[in-house]
Each structure stands twice: as C-alpha cells, then as structure tokens.
Amino acid sequence: MHRSFLPPAAKGVSGHDVAGRLGLFVLKLADLTAAALSRQILGGKPQRVRAERATTSKMPKDSGEFDQAKFDAMVSSQSWLLRGFTFYAKYHWDPINQLIHMCCIWPILFSAIVLFADIPLPESVVAQIPAAVVEAVPFRMDNVGFVVAVAYFLWHFTLSFSIGAVANCLVIACLIGSDAWHANYPETLPAYAWALHIGCWIAQFYGHGVHEQRRPALLENLFASVFMAPIFVVIEGLCAAGFMPEFHAKLTAVVEPEVRHFHAQRKAKSS
C-alpha cells in the first residue's frame, strides 16, 4: 500500500500559518534557553546584559606584540565550541560582513534543503521507515532535503543543547518552508531556489572581498564553513542581542589581536 509522505497540513500552507506554527514555539523557547545559554557555555549565572562590541577599524593598528604560538595555545585551551567559533570569527570580524552573513547563511541552508527535497530517497530506504513515524513527523521524509535537515538538527544539539535548540528552530522553519514551497508553488522550483542560493553566496564573497578584505573561511576549512556556519551565525546574533557577554568578551580577547596582526601584515605587503 502506497504511503504518502506529504503531510495533509502541507497543502495550502500559507505564510501566516508558517509564522504561527513557528512563532509561538520560538517565543516560548527563548524564555527557557536564556538562562541555559550562560550556564552551559560559561558555567556562571544567567545573564542578559547588552555587551559593548569592540570596534575594530577596517585597517586596525598592530601593536607588534602578536605571537602566533601564543594565539594557537590560547585557542586550544578553550572549549571546543569556542575554538570553532574563534576560527569562524577571525574571518568574519567586519560588522558589515557579519551582517551580510547573518542575512545569507540561513537562506543558503534553506534553499539547499528545498533543492535537495527534489531528490527522492531510494524506495528501499523509504520502505524501512515505520508507518507510525510517518504519521508522527509533520514533514515529507522521502527526500534528501529531509535527511540534510535532520543531520543539521542532530549536529546542532551535539555542539550545544541550548544554542542548538535556538538554531534548530530555524531548521524546523526551513523544513516547514520547504514543504510549503513544494506543495504550493512547485512551478517556481528550482529556478527561484537556485537564484536565492547563488545570490546569497555572491553577497558573502562580496562581504569578504570588499569589507572583510580576507578570503572566506571555506578556502581553509570547508567543514567549518558548511556545517558550523549556521550555528555560529546564531551565536553571533545572540551576542549582538546582549546574551553571553562574557563569552563575547573572551572571544574578543582571543581573536582581536590576530585580526589586527593579519591586517597589519597585509598592509605591509601591499606598501
């Protein structure tokens, strides 16, 4: 007997329905995770103090005291999540480039899920999914896009339960949007999804070339760029919103000297 993997709710889903389904969940989750964010990463009391962001000019002055070995030792002594975010942050220190990435990273993941959703899973794999699971999960499960979303969902919780919960709200939004797009506007696929995907990549390269003046992180570590960037953007957003001030202060102390040194070296080579 054929089992439909398109949930009934997906047909006729409007933008207001999507916002309603996600909005209440996000608002509730925000209250539950605010305290956990500080406790899990810092081991301290919950805080929600707006941190003053360090202002680094496009061509920061180098004090001449940067020590690469000391920098590497400082990074390696931090938590795994902070080490990963340190790598990401040193390539995304310019405020405009940060804003571009905050606007583009998740649309890139969303459009990727939409495009992968057009690739069906082998029937032998689909047949192994229990009917009870099909009924319980409100998403199409017979496509590669769902597998990609689940992989990010589990990965985010592996990195940090509290921050991962916030990031996974966006993963759920991507799945809801993908199913709604496929159900209601299939004629616009894949052209619009590709346009969104490629356009966001171009915007990010622009941010690196013009504002950051540093090559993208993916040229050094593809894994960090593909799998870590979405949750790092969430962390950056939380810091900008005033959460985790101690985390941000620690990050600034570690990364800012490296950024100053990099720009000083680049300026010296060009002069």
Name which of 144, 161, 125 is nearest 29 in CA terms: 161
CA angle 196, 201, 206 (to 5 degrees): 125
**CA distances, 195 to each of 108, 111, 198 (Å):** 10, 9, 5
CA atoms of 212 and 207, how far apart (whole Å): 6
> Counting beta carbons within 10 angstroms of the beta carbon of residue 128, is it exposed (0 to 12), middle (13 to 18) or buried (19 or more)?
exposed
What pLDDT score does 65 carry?
55
Cα separation, 122 vs 110, in Å, equals 23
Which region among 18-22, 135-139, 160-164 has the lowest average model confidence (pLDDT)? 18-22
Report pLDDT for 83.
76
What was the pLDDT predicted at 130?
92
* Per-residue pLDDT band at 247 (split at 50, 70, 90): confident
Strand partners, 143: 120
**Residue 21 within any structural domain of the chain:** no
Q: What is residue 223's DSSP assignment? A: H
32 has pLDDT over 90: no
Is 108 part of any domain? yes
Report the alpha-carbon distance of residue 37 to residue 161 in Å, rounded: 9
Residue 41 located in a structural domain:
no
Counting residues of the chain whose pLDDT is more than 70, the rounded percentage is 70
- Cis omega before residue 190 (within 30°)? yes
Averaged pLDDT for residues 113-137: 94
For 17, the token pair is: 């329905």
Q: What is the mean pLDDT of the chain?
A: 78
Poorest-pLDDT segment among 2-6, 212-216, 246-250, 256-260: 2-6
pLDDT tens, 40-72?
444 444 344 333 333 333 444 444 455 556 555
**Residue 243's beta-bridge partner residues?**
48
Query: How many domains in the chain?
Result: 1
Residue whose pair of structure tokens reads 């996000």 in the numeric block: 26
Note the pLDDT of residue 159: 86
Cα(159)–Cα(155) distance, integer angstroms: 6
Looking at the domain assignment, is residue 191 inside a domain?
yes
Within-domain flag for 249? yes
Residue 20 lies in a domain: no
The answer to whether residue 77 is domain-embedded is yes
**pTM of the prediction?**
0.73
**Alpha-carbon distance values, 153 to 4, 149, 221, 241 (Å):** 23, 6, 21, 23
Structural domain span for residue 223:
67-270
Give the separation between CA 232 and CA 170, rounded to whole angstroms.
13
CA 40 to chain centre: 19
Among 70-79, 119-128, 254-263, the range scoring the smallest mean pLDDT is: 70-79
pLDDT, mean of residues 137-149: 96
SS3 for 87-127, per residue?
A: HHHCCCCCHHHHHHHHHHHHHHHHHHHHHHCCCECCHHHHC
Q: What is the pLDDT of residue 54?
A: 38
24 torsion bin: left (phi>0), alpha (psi -120 to 50), beta (else): alpha
Confidence label for 106 from pLDDT (cuts 50, 70 and 90): very high
